[in-house]
Amino acid sequence: MAHGHLHVEPVTDGDDEIAAALEDVSVPALTAVLVGLTGDPAPVRGPIRPRQWVHNEFQGALTEDEKALLRRDALAVIRSWRDAGCPPAKELDPALVHEIMNWIACEPVPDDYVAMYRDEMDLEGRNPRAIRLPDPEQVPLDPGFGVLVIGCGESGLLAGIRLKEAGIPFTILEKNADVGGTWYENRYPGARVDVASHYYNYSFGPNDSFSEYYARQPELYRYFRARFDEHGIGAHVRWRCEVERAVWDDDGARWQVTYRTADGTTHTASASALISGVGLLSRPLIPDIPGLADFAGPAFHSAQWDERVDLGGRRVALIGAGASGFQLGPAVVDEVERLTVFQRTPQWMAPNPRYHDQIRPGERWAMRHLPGYGRWYRFMLMWQSSDRLLELVRVDPEWPDFPRTANAFSATRREAFVRWIDEQVGDDPDLARKVTPDYPPMAKRMLQDNGSWLRCLRRPHVDLVNDQILRVEPDAIVTTAGRHEVDVIVMATGFRASEVLWPMEIVGRGGVSLTDVWQGRPAGYLNITVPDFPNLFILGGPATSLAHAGSVIFLTECQMRYVGDALALLAGGRRSIEPTPTAYARYAEDLQAEIGTLMWGHPSIEHSWYKAADGRVYVLCPWRLVDYWAMTARLKPEDHTVS
């Protein structure tokens, strides 16, 4: 497997080109690279130190002079390294890696985080999350052992890569005709990731292919396609096969899977273990609005974009102002005759000037040529967001402004975000009022923003309607306050997130169905496994969405690590593994207790895809990343029944 991500393309550029490239890079990350190239800690022990993290700045508030000095030293080192033929970077002592982390972070990085980052960054190229099978000399692979994976999106592909690398036989059944899942399906104009590109990719393998800091859908699709090709996953996939049902056969210790192919016929397959990689955001939620079916023009969901429909010169209704609508509106506004945005709840936007920016050429060069640059850049991305931002939604019961804001931190962010709105539309109080949320930042999904949304809403041919939709007529949408004639309806109305694994039917030991076990309250031990459903592993299922800034790919990699431990037992001849009912119940209880300390499920938040029908939250990860990483780092035999 191509996990040696510190193997970079050798530098052949001249001194001037290198110097020019260094102007574009993050100097703290560059300095960390220098230590790796020379093994000499001097650059992080000198008088120049990053002094403070400014969100999305990546320079640690170094002055121009300080950056120039560090760049000058870097140029000298890189030149000699190039002239020596670009030998591999040195393997650094763990204490020195920790020292570099402290230097970049401008504060001591706690030991548990250091362990997580070292695993994530894998500076040594050891591929620590690979599945480790028993020594085949001692424990030969059970000849009947094989795995079925449902879905070839991010998590199913990850499973395929890990299985392939371990030499475990597997087949992936994918309902689409190609790889990518979300990034294959969501082809609406403007679709892009709003987690930084260099964090939203697998921890292994290269991350130098992105051209924008927040990559657009075609580039993300190509990213997954490239990993798929380079790992040779194609021979293992059956396309356009939609799994309908999976039944556990306790006698044979196998999953019997029924799936439908494109021609409508039904087939079966069986395997020792079943991995679901279908994700939470794959089944569109079509709103239940009276009259929708009788609309005369095209009406489609953002995830089922109809490329045949030309929006040019048409009156378009956009229902939904969540992450998808927010990207879609500005992307189509120039071509439509009229855009009417139906917004039920406004969303908080975090100002981010880089949101639509191209990655600077020198930074792309550094990702491609400087060993470890991409790893240290990722460290910075993770350090400044993720776990810190979880505190934004922690309920402070003493907080006087509750529940408009959740705590003191939440209040400062609210102030900054209100200022951001005011800067843009303060001269239009009616619009400002309509787009200002009355719930705390991050209590619903935050959006990255460079001003494109409010610029779009200010256009003369755009209306923002926040009255309740009553019905659809063949040529109009009718709200409590009026009738809006439209030619096309685009529904950016989200997904059936809490109906985990729907519409598949999963039947475990004794004929019990997962739907009956969950009864609308999806859960899993570590969000992955369920008692009486042996050898079933759910990636990206219950409590695996990240609502506090971070990459879901981090979570699925943690999950696959745990699954790998379980598969190693099965590959070595054990029949089945499942969590004990006690461990499952305890975990679910702890998880719900933790979610209860956060804003996401608070009754004051009326509409949110985070909430299930009973108003509770089952789909979000409430743990700090470092805690989930630790929970999944090693399979605990005491929490499982293995036969």
Answer yes or no: are the C-beta atoms of 282 and 495 closer than 8 Å.
yes
Q: How far apart are CA 5 and CA 32, in angstroms?
A: 16
- Interface size with ligand NAP, residues (CB under 6 A): 24
Answer yes or no: are the C-beta atoms of 555 and 542 closer than 8 Å.
no
Q: Which of 172, 281, 299, 477 binds ligand NAP (CB under 6 A)?
A: 281
Among the listed ranges 57-65, 98-106, 257-265, 489-497, the one in contact with ligand NAP (CB under 6 A) is: 489-497
Smallest distance from ligand NAP to CB 284, Å: 8
Smallest distance from ligand NAP to CB 340, Å: 13
Is 344 or 360 the residue whose CB approaches ligand NAP more closely?
344
Interface of this chain with ligand NAP, residues 451 to 470, rule: CB under 6 A? 469
Write the CB contacts of 397 (distance below 8 Å, at least 6 apart in sequence): none
Among the listed ranges 16-24, 71-79, 324-332, 517-525, the one in contact with ligand NAP (CB under 6 A) is: 324-332
Taking every pair of Cα atoms in the chain, the longest distance, rounded to a whole number of angstroms, is 75
Q: Which of 43, 60, 325, 330 binds ligand NAP (CB under 6 A)?
A: 325
In the sheet with 315-319, reading across from the earlier edge strand, the strands are 299-301, 488-491, 315-319, 338-342, 462-465
Smallest distance from ligand NAP to CB 603, Å: 15
Q: Which of 166, 321, 567, 571 binds ligand NAP (CB under 6 A)?
A: 321
Smallest distance from ligand NAP to CB 398, Å: 29
Answer yes or no: are the C-beta atoms of 408 and 442 closer than 8 Å.
no
The closest alpha carbon to 361, from 208, 561, 233, 132, belongs to 208
Q: Which of 155, 207, 452, 493 binds ligand NAP (CB under 6 A)?
A: 493
27 binds ligand NAP (CB under 6 A): no
Interface of this chain with ligand NAP, residues 338 to 367, rule: CB under 6 A? 342, 344-345
The closest alpha carbon to 510, from 249, 153, 208, belongs to 249
Q: Is 285 exposed, middle or buried (0-12, 13-18, 19+ CB in 10 A)?
A: middle
For residue 148, give Cα distances in angstroms to 156, 269, 302.
10, 8, 30
Is 400 or 603 the residue whose CB approaches ligand NAP more closely?
603
Q: How far apart are CA 281 and CA 545, in angstroms?
A: 9
176 binds ligand NAP (CB under 6 A): no
Give 465's DSSP letter: E
Q: Which of 28, 494, 524, 531 binds ligand NAP (CB under 6 A)?
A: 494
Among the listed ranges 66-74, 153-161, 263-271, 320-328, the one in contact with ligand NAP (CB under 6 A) is: 320-328
324 binds ligand NAP (CB under 6 A): yes
Is 281 or 382 the residue whose CB approaches ligand NAP more closely?
281
Q: How far apart are CA 572 and CA 586, in angstroms?
A: 29
Among the listed ranges 96-104, 240-248, 264-272, 486-494, the one in contact with ligand NAP (CB under 6 A) is: 486-494
Q: How far apart are CA 545 and CA 19, in angstroms?
A: 41
534 binds ligand NAP (CB under 6 A): no
Reduce the DSSP state of residue 434 to 3 states and report it: helix
Smallest distance from ligand NAP to CB 486, Å: 14
194 binds ligand NAP (CB under 6 A): yes
Q: Which of 28, 60, 146, 322 binds ligand NAP (CB under 6 A)?
A: 322
Q: Which of 74, 114, 193, 605 binds ligand NAP (CB under 6 A)?
A: 193
Q: How far apart are CA 435 and CA 354, in angstroms?
A: 22
Q: Which of 492, 536, 558, 612 binds ligand NAP (CB under 6 A)?
A: 492
Interface of this chain with ligand NAP, residues 556 to 615, rule: CB under 6 A? 607, 609
Is 529 or 544 the residue whose CB approaches ligand NAP more closely?
544
Is 189 or 320 the residue whose CB approaches ligand NAP more closely?
320
555 binds ligand NAP (CB under 6 A): no
Smallest distance from ligand NAP to CB 144, Å: 39
Burial 482-504 (b: 16+ CB within 10 A, else e): eebebbbbbbbbbbbbbbbbeeb
The closest alpha carbon to 43, from 342, 336, 344, 376, belongs to 376
109 binds ligand NAP (CB under 6 A): no
Strands (E), 383-475: 447-449, 462-465, 469-473
Q: Which of 4, 41, 134, 287 binds ligand NAP (CB under 6 A)?
A: 287
Half-sphere exposure of residue 11: CA atoms within 13 angstroms, side-chain side: 28
Q: 């699954």: which residue's tokens? A: 563
For residue 1, give Cα distances in angstroms to 127, 166, 169, 337, 548.
9, 10, 16, 51, 31
Instruction: Name the region of 599 (left: φ>0; alpha: ψ -120 to 50; beta: rest).
Output: alpha
Smallest distance from ligand NAP to CB 608, Å: 6
Among the listed ranges 47-55, 170-178, 223-231, 315-323, the one in contact with ligand NAP (CB under 6 A) is: 315-323
Is 279 or 524 the residue whose CB approaches ligand NAP more closely?
279
Is 94 or 290 the residue whose CB approaches ligand NAP more closely?
290
Is 342 or 584 the residue whose CB approaches ligand NAP more closely?
342
Tell me the residue number closest to ligand NAP, measured at CB.
Answer: 322
Instruction: Locate 142 and state its tokens.
Output: 């059970």
**Contact residues: ligand NAP, CB under 6 A:** 192-194, 281, 287, 319-325, 327, 342, 344-345, 445, 469, 492-495, 607, 609
